[in-house]
């Protein structure tokens, strides 16, 4: 869990810019110049445009095509991995834009110029200046995207347990199928993004995509669910790191004791203190270091489990697995129930859950069209690592495989067990801070600000509210973690309720909506880019039917795909909730327990 964090650094970096509100004012960085101290909203897009329903679909498509044409002439040879080294290790909190070429939609070879090319807006800012400012913040290339997607998705610590519930054959097959499906869904999001994003109307996140396809209700729903996912991620980190801290204190000889719930409180208090950090630019480079620390834990775990027996006590406490010889299975294990199989599948889905932040990644790219290159290579790398780590640990520990894998190392190998727990505790704090920070901001902007009209988070009142919101957020997350000290079942619930939606349900639904509106546009329908209005020949259900029929086979497949994912989500929620109830009924674990599930 703790290693699936670095994609959040993109959002964190964007939040950092927004919080500082002081970048690119009356300065020349390379050839990019922003005059007259424009409001911060200018740099990041006028805030109102992201919920302005008067902007037509044709406007988004028209300006997106122009942006893609311009980007063909933009060089990316001077960016990529070198850029991200500067971004995360430089003393400056914002990436330099001196390498960004001065290519605008007004000066490039694009369709005919419009009056808007030279007309200033209400702030006295011309289109050329707008385009230059928007492109200045987009510096990532497909090479850096490969790195960021890998660090965001890569999380094999729960893969061995999932394989143990499925066996070698079904485990390999399902991780292969879900990997292919995750790739397909990621390409769908890429298709929509390049079709609707532009420097004129830039997109920032998943909610922006939902808004432009289905309207404001979809934006609010997606943003709330995204915030809920980040909240549950924090709860999961409290559980796993509470287990790790209590395990470290017990020691190799079983002497010494730290109550499990007290260990969770310690982790929560750390969140109380460091959660007051509103801007995360100083933490973003730590998030990238964290993934490599987790790679060390994974390699160490695969090596150690071949030399030491399983952690029988932890497996008995959490999964009620009696001590005995290690058994592996080529097919579904003989004692595997339907709920076990579904929970294992949800853990596999959780392992590929990175689509939540794909749109934030594309929003940082010089050429979003190149996203597919880094994405495909990253998926292949992640899939290979998942199968390797899962099969190695399962072959050594069989039915005693624990989640997370490094806590399945027995007390007799205390030094290795402690190394895994110590590193994961550090990375867990970083991950929880990132998830908590972004989750609070999404909740504040979507619910408190949009619905209840709270002040801007950067205002004096907003900053004071943050002081109280952060501890409240962490306290509620701790209540969930203490009430459900079951990592595998809680992971299954998060995978089914949230991650499955963002990675498998929403992308096909969004692409169908995009295709219908895009294919419904007739050649004889005129669009005026100066006014942003289109002369449509029809509307309503007739237009939707025409758009759907244009790609009838693919649209139908995607509808079935989305409905299947939604059904799987329902099964996953049922399996995880009933498994929680069964685990509590067995009496081994109880809510707000002092006994460590990993003891």
Query: What is the pTM (predicted TM-score) of this model?
Result: 0.75
What pLDDT sits at residue 4? 52
What pLDDT sits at residue 212? 94
**Range scoring the smallest mean pLDDT among 12-26, 292-306, 399-413, 428-442:** 12-26
Q: Is residue 102 part of a domain?
A: no
* DSSP secondary structure, 47-86, as one string: GGGGG-TTS-HHHHHHHHHHHHHHHTT---TT-SHHHHHH
532-541 pLDDT, tens digit each: 888 888 888 9
Structure tokens at 321: 């697995």
- In angstroms, rounded to a whole number, what is the distance separating the alpha carbons of residues 355 and 533? 32
What pLDDT sits at residue 89? 46
What pLDDT sits at residue 47? 52
Q: What is the mean pLDDT of residues 108-123?
A: 43
- pLDDT of 104 > 60? The answer is no
Yes or no: say if 460 and 305 are a contact pair by the CB < 8 Å rule: no
Q: Which residue has the higher pLDDT, 355 or 180?
A: 180
Q: Is residue 486 part of a domain?
A: yes
Q: Is residue 472 part of a domain?
A: yes
What pLDDT sits at residue 479? 94
CA distances from 540 to 30, 244, 513, 520 (A): 49, 57, 14, 11
Phi-psi region of 398 (alpha: psi -120 to 50; beta: other; left: phi over 0): left
Q: Is residue 474 part of a domain?
A: yes
- pLDDT of 553 > 90? The answer is yes
- pLDDT of 30 > 50? The answer is no
- In angstroms, rounded to a whole number, what is the distance separating the alpha carbons of residues 454 and 465? 10
- In angstroms, rounded to a whole number, what is the distance separating the alpha carbons of residues 127 and 231? 39
Domain that holds residue 512: 132-521+536-586
Res. 279 pLDDT band, cuts 50 70 90: low
- pLDDT of 410 > 80? The answer is yes
581: buried, middle or exposed (CB in 10 Å: 19+, 13-18, 0-12)?
exposed
What pLDDT sits at residue 32? 37
Q: What is the mean pLDDT of residues 390-404?
A: 89
Percent of the residues in the chain that have a pLDDT greater than 90, as a whole number: 22
Q: What is the mean pLDDT of residues 259-286?
A: 76
Q: What is the mean pLDDT of residues 221-244?
A: 88
214 CB neighbour count, 10 Å cutoff: 17
- pLDDT of 221 > 70? The answer is yes
- pLDDT of 362 > 80? The answer is yes
What pLDDT sits at residue 551? 95
Angle between helices 487-494 and 312-319 (to 10 degrees): 60
- In angstroms, rounded to a whole number, what is the distance separating the alpha carbons of residues 150 and 5? 10
- In angstroms, rounded to a whole number, what is the distance separating the alpha carbons of residues 64 and 490? 40
Res. 42 pLDDT band, cuts 50 70 90: very low
- In angstroms, rounded to a whole number, what is the distance separating the alpha carbons of residues 421 and 265? 17
What pLDDT sits at residue 11? 42
- In angstroms, rounded to a whole number, what is the distance separating the alpha carbons of residues 427 and 485? 20
What pLDDT sits at residue 255? 57
What pLDDT sits at residue 302? 92
Q: Which residue has the higher pLDDT, 32 or 495?
A: 495
Q: What is the mean pLDDT of residues 185-196?
A: 94
462-486 pLDDT, tens digit each: 888 888 888 999 999 999 999 988 8
Yes or no: say if 407 and 243 are a contact pair by the CB < 8 Å rule: yes
- pLDDT of 23 > 60? The answer is no
What pLDDT sits at residue 446? 73
* Nearest residue to 186 (alpha-carbon basis) of 345, 67, 11, 359: 359
Q: Which residue has the higher pLDDT, 372 or 134?
A: 372
Average pLDDT, the chain: 78
- pLDDT of 43 > 90? The answer is no
Q: Is residue 64 part of a domain?
A: no
Q: Which residue has the higher pLDDT, 560 or 488?
A: 560
363-396 pLDDT, tens digit each: 878 888 888 888 898 888 888 888 888 899 999 9
Q: What is the mean pLDDT of residues 407-420?
A: 85
CA dihedral 398, 400, 404, 407 (to 10 degrees): -120
Q: For 36-55, b where at least 16 C-beta lie within 10 A, e where not — what string?
A: eebebebbbbeeeebeeeeb
Q: Is residue 81 part of a domain?
A: no
Res. 598 pLDDT band, cuts 50 70 90: low
Give the domain CATH number at 483. 1.20.1740
- In angstroms, rounded to a whole number, what is the distance separating the alpha carbons of residues 387 and 564? 25
Structure tokens at 125: 């800012």
Q: Is residue 104 part of a domain?
A: no
Give 596's contacts (C-beta < 8 A, 6+ positions apart): 243, 246, 247, 250, 260, 263, 317
What pLDDT sits at residue 391? 92
58-90 pLDDT, tens digit each: 999 999 999 888 888 776 655 544 444 554 444
Q: Is residue 458 part of a domain?
A: yes
**Range scoring the smallest mean pLDDT among 35-44, 116-125, 225-234:** 35-44
Res. 185 pLDDT band, cuts 50 70 90: very high
**Range scoring the smallest mean pLDDT among 32-46, 310-324, 407-421, 514-528:** 32-46
- In angstroms, rounded to a whole number, what is the distance separating the alpha carbons of residues 398 and 97? 52
* Nearest residue to 435 (alpha-carbon basis) of 238, 293, 162: 238
Most confident region among 257-271, 399-413, 500-514, 576-590 by mean pLDDT: 500-514
What pLDDT sits at residue 136? 58
192-211 pLDDT, tens digit each: 999 999 888 888 888 899 99
Give 3's contacts (C-beta < 8 A, 6+ positions apart): 151, 154, 155, 157, 290, 291, 294, 295, 427, 431
Domain count, the chain: 1
């Amino acid at each position: 869990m703790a290693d699936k964090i670095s994609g959040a650094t993109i959002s964190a970096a964007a939040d950092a810019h927004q919080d500082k509100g002081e970048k690119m004012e009356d300065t020349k960085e390379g050839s990019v110049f922003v005059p007259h101290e424009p409001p911060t909203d200018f740099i990041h897009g006028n805030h109102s445009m992201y919920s302005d329903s008067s902007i037509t679909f044709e406007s988004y498509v028209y300006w997106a095509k122009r942006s893609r044409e311009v980007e063909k002439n933009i060089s990316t040879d001077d960016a990529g991995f070198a850029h991200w080294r500067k971004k995360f290790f430089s003393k400056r909190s914002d990436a330099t834009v001196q390498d960004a070429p001065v290519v605008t939609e007004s000066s490039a070879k694009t369709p005919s110029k419009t009056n808007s090319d030279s007309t200033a807006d209400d702030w006295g800012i011309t289109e050329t200046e707008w385009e230059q400012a928007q492109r200045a913040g987009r510096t990532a290339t497909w090479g850096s995207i490969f790195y960021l997607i890998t660090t965001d998705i890569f999380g094999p610590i729960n893969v061995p347990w999932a394989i143990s519930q499925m066996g070698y054959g079904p485990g390999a097959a399902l991780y292969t199928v879900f990997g292919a499906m995750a790739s397909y869904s990621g390409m769908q999001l890429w298709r929509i993004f390049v079709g609707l994003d532009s420097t004129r109307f830039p997109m920032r996140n998943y909610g922006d995509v939902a808004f432009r396809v289905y309207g404001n209700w979809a934006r609010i729903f997606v943003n709330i669910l995204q915030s809920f996912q980040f909240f549950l991620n924090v709860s999961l980190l409290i559980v796993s790191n509470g287990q790790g801290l209590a395990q470290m204190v017990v020691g190799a000889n079983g002497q010494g004791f730290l109550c499990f719930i007290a260990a969770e409180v310690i982790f929560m208090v750390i969140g109380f203190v460091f959660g007051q950090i509103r801007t995360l630019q100083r933490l973003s480079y730590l998030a990238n270091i964290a993934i490599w620390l987790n790679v060390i834990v994974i390699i160490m775990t695969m090596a150690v489990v071949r030399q030491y027996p399983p952690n029988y006590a932890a497996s008995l406490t959490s999964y009620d697995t009696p001590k005995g010889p290690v058994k592996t299975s080529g097919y579904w294990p003989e004692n595997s129930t339907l709920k076990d199989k579904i929970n294992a599948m949800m853990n596999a889905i959780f392992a590929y859950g990175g689509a939540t932040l794909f749109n934030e990644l594309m929003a940082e790219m010089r050429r979003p069209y190149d996203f597919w290159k880094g994405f495909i290579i990253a998926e292949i790398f992640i899939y290979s690592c998942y199968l390797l780590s899962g099969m190695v640990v399962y072959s050594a520990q069989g039915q005693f495989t624990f989640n997370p894998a490094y806590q399945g190392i027995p007390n007799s190998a205390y030094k290795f067990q402690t190394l895994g727990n110590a590193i994961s505790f550090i990375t867990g704090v970083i991950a929880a801070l990132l998830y908590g920070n972004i989750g609070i901001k999404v909740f504040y902007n979507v619910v408190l600000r949009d619905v209840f009209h709270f002040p801007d988070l950067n205002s004096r009142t907003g900053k004071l509210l943050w002081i109280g919101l952060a501890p409240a957020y962490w306290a509620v997350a701790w209540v969930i973690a203490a009430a459900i000290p079951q990592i595998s079942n809680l992971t299954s619930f998060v995978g089914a309720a949230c991650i499955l939606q963002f990675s498998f349900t929403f992308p096909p639904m969004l692409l169908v909506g995009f295709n219908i509106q895009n294919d419904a546009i007739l050649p004889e329908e005129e669009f005026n880019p100066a006014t942003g209005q289109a002369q449509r020949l029809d509307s309503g259900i007739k237009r939707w039917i025409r758009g759907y029929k244009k790609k009838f086979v693919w649209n139908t497949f995607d509808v079935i795909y989305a409905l299947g994912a939604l059904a799987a989500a329902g099964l996953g929620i049922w399996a995880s909730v009933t498994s929680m109830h069964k685990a509590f009924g067995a009496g081994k674990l109880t809510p707000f327990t002092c006994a460590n599930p990993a003891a």
